[in-house]
Amino acid sequence: MPAHHELILDGNSLYLEALINAAEAAPADYIISLTSDKEILRKIEASRKYVEDILSNGSKKIYGVNTGFGANKHKYIPGSTHEEKIQNMRKLTYNLLISHCTGMGAKFPREIVRAAMILRINTLAMGHSGVRKELLKVLTGLLNNDITPVVPSQGSVGASGDLAPLSHMAVVLALNPGAPETEIFGDVEIKNESGYKVVSADSIRGLINPVILEAKEGLALNNGTCFLTSLCSFALSKSINAIKAAQISSVLSLEALLGTKDSLNPALHNLRRHPGQIRIAKNLKEMLGGSNLVFDADTGTDYDLHTVDCQLQSIEKELGLITSIKPIKEPIQDNYSLRCIPQVMGACLDSLNYVKGVVETEMNSVNDNPILFPEWAAEGNETRVSGIAAISGGNFHGEPIALAADFLKIAAAEIASIAERRIFTLTDPSLNRKLPAFLINPADKQEEGMHSGMMILQYTAAAIVSENKILCHPASVDSIPTSANVEDHVSMGTHGSKRALEVAENTNKVIALELLCAAQALHLRLKQGFRPLYRPEERSRIIDHEEADALFRKLELLIPEQMTAGKSSQIILEMLDKLLVKENGLEFPITNDVYIQPYIAIVTENLLNGRLVKEFENSYGEIHLK
């Protein structure tokens, strides 16, 4: 069966969603190929020809082409004949990879490695790295045959790029030039009937189609920013998922807590001008469409508890039951975790959009060393010293992604931080506007103290938010010199990107907890209705007064018969019913304490894998981020 999708790599047009989709997909559903664009292929061939011409025709020193690496940069690789020179450069390339396989720790997940391989193909396809197009096809062959190199997660300092991880990626396709029949080093993951298993690359060499790497090709494979960019891409993707889900969960919380729409007024946000703030406010206001649970200044309808209390006090004063009305400032303001959602999450959204620009720029960049400009040699350009068409620079340095990753994890952590405050408000009976303590309302009121309800979900959220604070220490401010101080400032961007991915996943977990708590709270609120909000015990105290009865009836005309949630909340409540009740046979909303872990696991899994947001958008429409 042919693949449903194809990702064509041309070095110029890769974007975040395509990278994530291709990296996560099964090869049967997604084929990855090098472009057939003749101009791009010509550039790849021209840069390869330039390398071969240097080796054949001259003694010019080109770093990594006919010199050693790092602190060995001044050491020229000799050869008395052309054949000897070629063989020595092949050996140099092979030695580079096997000596740089120094990674330690747990292996990167399959999708992270696949994304790094896609990124490496894309940058080499730009035709400034001196590799053969056949080598790129070997890499696409691994991807399309679902063969993923095993790459340890520790060992990169983020400059010169991800040397150790990329060496582990590349070594599985490298033959020993002196004895090609000998063992191929490294391990790979392949699919079997129970999932994936790790086998030696040598045991499936016929599927890998390994090659003898030529001059410059080893350096082109292992000198770049692919792993830190891969990690940051997944962190960004999960952060985007989290900020969409957080808008859904915050609307649930806003309605369950009888919040106000006044703080979403576009006039307010337009004055501050930040695009993320304006967008979040617009999204939330639209999501609340159809709700009668929130105060709307545009219609003048206010069902806030304090306002109802004011009206009751007016009745009691007329009846002579009280002598004065306790002053209440109106309109009542929500606490910051509700009122400042656009300001906080809007700033986070602006940060995510900035990081996306950095990441997608890096995806389509040449980030190895040296960089070749074969057209200079072809034109005989003398503006460079001796007409050398190669520049030894630092495009492998991970600083752009390192800074972006640190920024990203702080923004993602803030999404979780403000969500935890809403969870706290939902569960605290002194703050949640007459919802039951910890959102549990057992049928037998004598058992109220026996049930903890959603109490400990807030503890878990608090623990994760605190963990995020530790993970958010910026990696990019650190540097330890390497390679005999030649590489004396490094980015540590791979650490930052790894931590950003952890923070993004943690943030999705906190949003899953808010979804559960807010959905439980909204179910309770809708069942409660508006009636209990205006103190029935006070009505019973004065019900014998005929005049009071008439006044209460007038008051009731101001209060709708039924609470109605907005479109967004109705959709997510139906989705949670499908996930928890219909698909997994759980009780929701809960009425007594239950074994709560499956609830958390189901919602978290469906949030992290993208299903929940995707299905919500299928019903509601896209949650726009710009």
User: pLDDT tens for residues 334-374?
Assistant: 899 999 999 999 999 999 999 999 999 999 999 999 999 98
pLDDT at 449: 84
* Helices 163-171 and 110-124, axial angle in degrees (round to 10): 90
Among 124-128, 172-176, 482-486, 600-604, name the one with the lowest average pLDDT.
Answer: 482-486
Q: What is the b/e burial string over 137-157, where b = at least 16 CB atoms within 10 angstroms of the residue's CB?
A: eebbebbbebbbbbbbbebbb
Return all residues near 332 (Cβ < 8 A) that are at least 6 apart: 260, 295, 304, 306, 307
Among 151-160, 454-463, 521-530, name the one with the lowest average pLDDT.
Answer: 521-530
Class of domain 235-295+332-356+399-479+487-528+565-620: mainly alpha
- Residues listed for the chain: 626
**Can you spell out the DSSP letters for 13-78?**
---HHHHHHHHHS-TTTEEEEE---HHHHHHHHHHHHHHHHHHHH-----TTTSB--GGGTT-B--
Q: Is the pLDDT of residue 414 over 70?
A: yes
pLDDT-based confidence at residue 553 (cuts at 50, 70, 90) = low
pLDDT at 626: 95
CA distance 408 to 355: 7
pLDDT at 448: 80
Q: Quick one: average pLDDT of 139-143? A: 97
pLDDT at 390: 86
Q: What is the b/e burial string over 511-534, where b = at least 16 CB atoms within 10 angstroms of the residue's CB?
A: bbbbbbbbbbbbbbbbeeebeebb
* Domains of the chain by residue range: 5-224, 235-295+332-356+399-479+487-528+565-620
pLDDT at 196: 94
pLDDT at 262: 86
The whole-angstrom distance between residue 39's C-alpha and the CA centroid of its chain comes to 35
pTM across the whole model? 0.91
CA distance 24 to 492: 26
Among 387-396, 495-504, 537-546, name the one with the lowest average pLDDT.
Answer: 537-546
pLDDT at 509: 98
Q: Is the pLDDT of residue 281 over 80?
A: yes
CA distance 328 to 330: 6
Residue type, 577: D
CA distance 623 to 353: 14
User: pLDDT tens for residues 181-239?
Assistant: 999 999 999 999 889 999 999 999 999 999 999 999 999 999 999 999 999 999 999 99
CA distance 280 to 269: 10
Average of per-residue pLDDT values in the chain: 89
What does the block give as tokens for 393?
Answer: 């620079």
Per DSSP, the three-state class of 487 is strand
459, 463, 466, 471 alpha-carbon torsion, rounded to 10°? -160
**CATH: 2.60.120.860, 1.10.1040.10, 1.10.275.10, 2.60.40.10. Which one for 5-224?**
1.10.275.10
State the CB neighbour count (10 A cutoff) for residue 74.
Answer: 9
Q: Is the pLDDT of residue 534 over 60?
A: no
Angle at CA of residue 378, ends 383 and 51, nearest 5°: 100
**Between 380 and 118, residue with greater pLDDT:** 118
Return all residues near 274 (Cβ < 8 A) that are at least 6 apart: 346, 347, 350
Decide the pairing of beta strands 187-192 and 148-149: antiparallel
The whole-angstrom distance between residue 238's C-alpha and the CA centroid of its chain comes to 2
Which residues are known to be catalytic?
63
User: Any idea what DSSP says for residue 136?
Assistant: H
Residue type, 116: A
CA distance 570 to 255: 11
Q: Are 281 and 264 in contact (CB under 8 A)?
A: yes
pLDDT at 554: 57
Q: Is the pLDDT of residue 110 over 70?
A: yes
Among 288-297, 307-316, 385-394, name the one with the lowest average pLDDT.
Answer: 307-316
Q: Are 405 and 497 in contact (CB under 8 A)?
A: yes
| HSE (side-chain half, CA atoms, 13 Å) at 185 | 16
| HSE (side-chain half, CA atoms, 13 Å) at 432 | 25
CA distance 306 to 324: 16
pLDDT at 311: 59
Return all residues near 8 (Cβ < 8 A) that are at least 6 apart: 33, 34, 35
Per the DSSP assignment, residues forming a β-bridge with 391 are: 371
Q: Quick one: average pLDDT of 240-263? A: 95
Angle at CA of residue 15, ends 103 and 7, nearest 5°: 85
Among 41-50, 167-176, 256-265, 310-319, name the one with the lowest average pLDDT.
Answer: 310-319
Q: Are 253 and 426 in contact (CB under 8 A)?
A: yes
